[in-house]
C-alpha cells in the first residue's frame, strides 16, 4: 500500500487542496481503508516538500469534513464511518454531474434532453 502523495508546482491549486484531493482519492478507491493511520503531519510535509502548516491545514479541513479523525497523541486516521469511501465517490459523481449540467445549459439542452443522453450512456440494468 503506497502512501506517497505528489504535489505539482505546475498545478494552480493550493498545495493543501492537492493533498486533500489525493487523500480523498485514496480513501474513495479503497486504497486507504477506514481506521488506517495517515502519515504524521511532519512526515508527510517532509516527503512532499511542503511546510508543516500546509499539511496541518489539509488534515484540519479533512477532519472538519469527517473524512479523517485525529486522536491527540496517537495521530490521524481514516474515519471509521463505513460509508466514507462511498460518500466520497458520490461527491465526485455529483461534481461530474454538475459539470455535465453546466455544459448542457450552455448548449441549450433541456433537463429531459440531458437525462435522455445519460440514459443512452448508462442503460438500465436488466433483471436476471
* Confidence (pLDDT) at 30: 84
Cα–Cα dist 73/40, whole Å: 11
How far from 115 is each of 5, 21, 122, CA to CA, in Å? 37, 29, 10
Regions of the chain short of the pLDDT cut 70: 1-3, 82-85
Residue reference for cell 436476471: 128
* Confidence (pLDDT) at 1: 43
* Confidence (pLDDT) at 3: 60
Q: Which fold has domain 15-78?
A: Arc Repressor Mutant, subunit A (1.10.10)
77 and 36 Cβ atoms separated by less than 8 Å? yes
How many CA atoms, within 13 angstroms, populate the side-chain half-sphere of residue 48? 24
Q: What residues does each domain of the chain span? A: 15-78, 84-121
CB-based burial of residue 22 (10 Å sphere; 0-12 exposed, 13-18 middle, 19+ buried)? Answer: middle
Phi, psi (5° rounding) for residue 126? -80, 135
Amino acid at each position: 500500500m503506497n502512501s506517497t502523495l505528489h504535489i505539482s508546482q505546475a498545478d494552480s491549486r493550493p498545495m493543501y487542496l492537492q493533498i486533500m484531493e489525493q487523500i480523498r482519492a485514496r480513501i474513495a478507491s479503497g486504497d486507504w481503508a477506514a481506521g488506517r493511520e495517515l502519515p504524521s503531519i511532519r512526515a508527510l510535509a517532509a516527503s512532499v516538500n511542503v511546510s508543516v502548516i500546509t499539511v496541518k491545514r489539509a488534515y484540519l479541513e479533512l477532519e472538519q469534513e469527517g473524512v479523517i479523525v485525529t486522536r491527540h497523541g496517537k495521530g490521524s486516521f481514516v474515519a471509521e464511518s463505513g460509508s466514507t469511501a462511498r460518500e466520497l465517490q458520490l461527491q465526485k459523481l455529483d461534481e461530474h454531474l454538475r459539470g455535465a449540467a453546466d455544459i448542457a445549459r450552455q448548449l441549450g439542452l433541456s433537463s429531459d434532453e440531458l437525462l435522455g443522453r445519460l440514459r443512452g450512456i448508462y442503460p438500465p440494468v436488466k433483471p436476471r
